[in-house]
Structure 1
Amino acid sequence: MTTTRTDTPPAWDERTQLATFLDYARATARAKCEDVSPENARKSLLPGSPLMTLCGLISHLHWVEYYWFQVVFLGEEDEGPWTDEDPDREMRIAVDIPLPDLLARYEEQCARYRRLVAERDLDSPAERPVRDGLHVNLRWILLHLIEETARHNGHLDILRELADGRTGD
């Protein structure tokens, strides 16, 4: 299966451009995982980053969006897998979950967040403040998630090339 991606928005308003770029980054993450073996999806290939696996990064992207949309923006209770003792637990537990399951959960969640973004004003403030006490708005969260997902796509690209030599844009 080949993931379809485009970074050209169907309209040029700000919301459509932001949503298109986030979807493009999400689709790139999925594309980096296409046809990878289950072993390579769980393999830790960077000696200095033992938690960085394809499974771990997809899980991380899933939980990052959860945190920013549900916990920060909507103000819901944080029910993420992390703890004070294990702040990267979402990456650690991912190696026990098949990559296709992680990708399906991520895509299902992305569909919910697309609807949330379509229904809210970009200037809507988050219910919870960020570390510096400020309440960011939905626009800031979208920009942050584009940056975060794009950064981790670079990690996915490196891991995939190290795992089985597959490269791509």
Structure 2
Amino acid sequence: MPPAWDERTQLTTFLDYVRATARAKCEELSDEDARKAPLPGSPLMTLSGLVNHLRWVEYYWFRVVFLGEEDEGPWTDEDPDREMRIAVDFPLSRLLDEYAAETARHNELIAAHALDTKARRGRGDAEPVDLRWILLHLIEETARHNGHIDILRELADGRTGD
């Protein structure tokens, strides 16, 4: 690791790291195990659901909030967690491929904008945040869900790791 990285390099390196960690925790996992919801109080908490959630949460923050695009996510007012629910209908490899494609697109977007660039939309009544805030939020969100993924993976087949 270099003695000093600029802020953009720090943020993008950590975001890429937590993304790669989520994917690595799913290596060699069967579709059946990826669809299991072993926590009785959390029926939507599956590895497939978490991977799909990470994909769609990036879409939401980068494309809907930051760029101001129309929200075409899978969620609805009646089913706000639909991305978690429908994930079990798809092979894990497809979900991981879609997540990788979305993150590659977002890396291009990050590279094309200054960290101080304000999002085109606020969330609810809040003022729009800048790209720096979105990157920090996605690092936090992805790292938090990596903990969930780690637990679910250990419950599925005993595999543990970084």
Report if TM-score (shorter chain) is over 0.5. yes
TM-score scaled by length of structure 2:
0.97
The count of residues paired between Structure 1 and Structure 2 equals 162
What is the identity percentage for the equivalent residue pairs of Structure 1 and Structure 2? 75
Task: Please say if 1:94 is aligned against 2:112.
Answer: no
Structure 1: 4+ residue segments shifted above 4 A:
8-11
User: RMSD over aligned Cα, in angstroms?
Assistant: 1.3
Cα offset, 1:132, TM superposition: 3.8
CA distance in 2, matches of 1:22, 1:137: 16
Give 2:93's aligned amino acid: P
CA distance in 1, matches of 2:41, 2:4: 43
- CA gap of 1:140–1:35, structure 2 versus 1, over 3 A, is same
CA distance in 2, matches of 1:55, 1:15: 30
Cα offset, 1:133, TM superposition: 2.1
Match runs of 1:26-45 below 5 Å:
26-45=19-38
* Structure 1 residue aligned with 2:123: 130
CA distance in 1, matches of 2:123, 2:77: 17
- CA gap of 1:9–1:131, structure 2 versus 1, over 3 A, is farther
Match runs of 1:107-118 below 5 Å:
107-118=100-111
Give the gaps of 5 or more residues in structure 1.
1-7
* Structure 2 residue aligned with 1:80: 73
Give the gaps of 5 or more residues in structure 2.
none
